[in-house]
Structure 1
């Protein structure tokens, strides 16, 4: 009987020794509590204060059991929570992913218009004189074939129609008649006295078409009468011209105009000083 008692005692001692030699289980970590509003006390469990049960008012003897650092964490500050919320906000994606479009970029300004080329420097010419309306019509058609628009112009000019050899007016008709008789005695003829006009009482010695013939008569009379004079006589002539305007830098067109003028005898290509 005593042997059985000691046997049970040894078994109990071995059981307690084995039980207390095993590592103590660690409580499962508590869920992290969310931050509470300012001014409200946070709920604290009894075991967070080191109390095992409500009936225990004093801590148990012996060394306090170590509390795992993962059981409870202190609440994070408001600034850290706000930063986490901002980081958790979705980042806007490409156009259309968030239901709203990004502002369209401003269109590029249109390119500056190119500067127009400088206008051509026009050169003005005239072709003529033309003998009649028929010749003017033929030249007009030839210019239109060169894509030139001519303008017909009528002008008047004073042309020499001859030369007059004469003696200036004398004081009276009697003096002019006596002068004629004296020259006739010296071998001159073909003379008569002007009876009216601004040359009244002048002695006409001849009208000549050619200047050479007039000069010969003038020298003949002058040897006898130093007062002898000679002057040209004029008439008014109406002429037709065709005025044209072309690009002064277009040398090929200028050459065509010169060649065209040569096809019409008596027609000259004259450059005008100013375009009208």
Structure 2
């Protein structure tokens, strides 16, 4: 009996010594439930459902995408014209549609450049505007009432293509006691053009364009942003 007790005491002393020198760990893998410490440099895991954004495409960098030109993203059209009559444009349009080209005649606003409008500020009412007009016409000053727009019920003294001419007219009116002003405006006019997608127009042969030019020598062919896109 004493021998058994001595053996047990000896075993306990041996186990205590092994724990003391770290040969046997004090806790197993489950331990106290604390998460193991991960070095800061270790990569973290991420669920696919947590990922955001798009995968980068092979062979494409973000800088390549950012540097794309605006014209690559906006629709381009070929414009043929101008025509004096819609009938001529529609006739050519039918020929092109037979070749699977979507061609339509449209009225296109074409810029005439800047204009310089000499005018008086709007009156409080149309009656006051007419009274001012009669006063000016009695002095043989060419003028008319502006019927609509931001300057409605104002008095117009004409549109000039050159600023120097507009300034000379303004100075004449101011010398007569009228507070004439100059407004710079964009002048436009309408033309009839045949409009078609650029990709479809490129498929047409040079011979076809030569035939059209022989029939209508004044026609021009231009490539531009499709009408409606350029004005946005």
- Which TM-score band (shorter chain)? 0.3 to 0.5
Larger RCO: Structure 1 or Structure 2 (Cα < 8 Å, ≥ 6 residues apart)?
Answer: 2
Larger Rg belongs to: 1
Higher helix content, 1 or 2: 2
Q: State TM-score, norm by structure 1.
A: 0.34
